[in-house]
Structure 1
Amino acid sequence: MARMRPNDDYPKASIAYLFTITDRKPQAFALLERLVQTDPEVGMHWFNLGFLQEEKGMFEEACASFSKAVELRPDIDRAWYGLGLVLIRLQRFDEAIKALKQNTKLQPMSPYGWYQLARVHMDRQEPDEARKIIRHLKGFEPKVAAQLERETGISVSLAN
């Protein structure tokens, strides 16, 4: 397909994805780096590159890639989540909270962003904020809420 459509990024992005899922990540990484250079206005290219950068421990670079992804495509909830995670790793908690809140706004029923948001609030010594999140999670993800209760020592009932 890439030979038939040499100027189309879709086949290259598909190949990068196949490299990623078949554990050929160096090839995926190189291809994604080329894609963001040749077509820097595609948010998904930046997201995919950020994902691999995060996995390699390249947190500053991943932060820049995820930031570019959400600048271009603010609807990519996973890019907001990835941005939140790398900001946590970089101990930039204020920014992480903003990114994770945007993730939870886009994916309100996914527990992952909520979980990380509660953890950041605990790291910032804000147990009341974590408590609110645990209470919220109890309404649709009681197992995740219970895990947070165990990890934080905060016990929450739906009544209080």
Structure 2
Amino acid sequence: MQISADQGRFLTMLTQLVDPTLAVEVGTFTGYSSLCIARGLTHGRLHCFDVSDEWTSVARRYWEKAGLAEKITLTLGPATETLREVEGPIQLAFIDADKTNYPAYYELVMERMEPGGLILADNTLRGGTVADPARTERYVQEMREFNELVINDPRVTTTIMPIRDGVTLIRKN
């Protein structure tokens, strides 16, 4: 459930390149990806959304230990509700939460995303299963549907990077 070290370095680098004033993370877990994003911030803030106080308490400890807690705001609750409170513009977003709600998270972020902003969605290759027509599991179908949604969205330019379980880069036109 945690991103890999390669993905972490990739997130930090992309954060440095985008140089956001507002970055958003949907799905914080124990905080590794948020640390990677926060490390890449020069003057911006990261707003994290998660439902688990238990797991994000681990994240908060690591944010403090790394000296990055002052750059991060955490909101607990379903992101389908709490993301509505974000007053953009968002320049960078990382989506790595329950896959069923990826389309909803995507739309909520897109509504607040600045043109030229970047969304990263994790797990979009699902171990390659999305490319295997014989695989019909619900989690595979959900990711196929999300990938189709993004690929066919005229508001964006997108590509899937085969890093670990797949990271889709989505740039708002």
> Does the alignment reach a TM-score above 0.5?
no
Superposition TM-score tier, normalisation by shorter sequence: 0.3 to 0.5
Higher relative contact order (CA 8 A, sep 6+): 2
TM-score by length of 1: 0.34
Specify the structure having the higher radius of gyration (Cα): 1
